[in-house]
Amino acid sequence: MENNKRVMVAVSVASLYLEPTFTSELVTQALKGEDLVVLDYKNKWLKVKQWDDYISWIHDSYIEEYNSQFLNNNIKDNQVLMSMNEMIEYGYSLIGTPYLWGGKSKLGFDCSGFIQTLLRLRGIKFPRDCSQQIKYINMKKIDLENSDIGDLIFFKENKSISHIGIFVNSNGCFLHCSGEVKINSINSKNKVYYSDRLELLFHSIYRIENDT
């Protein structure tokens, strides 16, 4: 298969791996109809780049020929982006979805995949992993006291950014995926959602300035 050829995901949810083998680490997922650029091909495995520039390996049983008409229709069907409140409401609907390393579908999310999925509903091309997400260029750092709906909260463990959540109100509650999608807070006055563990890991809060 020639490099830089475009293919499409043919199954509902496709697993993508670090190396071209099913025994390798699951690093992310792709959804049916997603457009992939082929960078390399090895023993029925394709090294591909996704819409967020993330690079991984997918087995060729998960893909089909590129169909521009399908993509054009899909873009038309989804061209109206969600408002902030609609995005948060959708996030609430995912509460209880289990944690899955590399996951970014209703079958399971990891923390960064969950946030990336929500922000994409607003047309934001947000990076895939926490270590990349905190470097996103269209963000500014803000104080916890000024946090509001849609702001992002990052956590650090062993000197590395390891977790992310998104604020759902002005009272310090945020959605995140840890064990499952759920609500927490680092405000000790919030008796229902407070997490002392997350407060200890708390690192910084950022607001996306340009959401297009």
* Angle between helix 84-93 and helix 111-120 axes, rounded to 10 deg: 140
Helix (H) or strand (E) holding 196: helix 196-201
Q: How do the domains of the chain map onto residue ranges?
A: 6-73, 84-208
Q: What confidence tier does 3 reach under pLDDT thresholds 50, 70, 90?
A: low
Q: Is there a contact between 126 and 113 (Cβ–Cβ < 8 Å)?
A: no
Exactly one of 59, 130, 173, 176 is catalytic; name it: 176
Q: Report the alpha-carbon distance of residue 164 to residue 198 in Å, rounded.
A: 10
> 13: burial class by Cβ within 10 Å (0-12, 13-18, 19+)?
middle
**Percentage with pLDDT > 90 across the chain:** 85
User: Which amino acid, 33?
Assistant: G
Residue-level pLDDT at 20: 97
**Residue range 136-187, pLDDT digits in tens:** 999 999 999 999 999 999 999 999 999 999 999 888 999 999 999 999 999 9
Pairing of strands 63-65, 6-9: antiparallel
Range list of β-strands (E), 119-178: 139-142, 152-157, 160-167, 173-178
- Secondary structure class of 62 (helix, strand, coil): helix
Exactly one of 111, 130, 173, 177 is catalytic; name it: 111
pTM score, whole prediction: 0.90
Whether the per-residue pLDDT at 2 is higher than 90: the answer is no
Count Cα neighbours of 120 within 13 Å in the Cβ-side half-sphere.
13
Residue-averaged pLDDT of the chain: 92
Residue-level pLDDT at 90: 96
Q: Can 111 be counted among the known catalytic residues?
A: yes
Contacts of 103 (CB under 8 A, 6+ apart): 26, 29, 109, 110, 113
**Residue range 190-202, pLDDT digits in tens:** 999 999 999 999 9
Residue-level pLDDT at 205: 97
Distance from CA of residue 171 to its chain's centroid?
Answer: 24
Q: Can 163 be counted among the known catalytic residues?
A: yes
- Note the CATH number of domain 6-73: 2.30.30.40
Q: Report the alpha-carbon distance of residue 98 to residue 70 in Å, rounded.
A: 31
- Note the CATH number of domain 84-208: 3.90.1720.10
**Residue range 97-122, pLDDT digits in tens:** 999 999 999 999 999 999 999 999 99
User: Which amino acid, 133?
Assistant: Q
Exactly one of 130, 163, 173, 177 is catalytic; name it: 163
**Residue range 30-83, pLDDT digits in tens:** 999 999 999 999 999 999 999 999 999 999 999 999 876 655 445 444 456 899
Q: What is the DSSP letter of 49?
A: E
The C-alpha angle 166, 113, 4, rounded to 5 degrees, equals 135
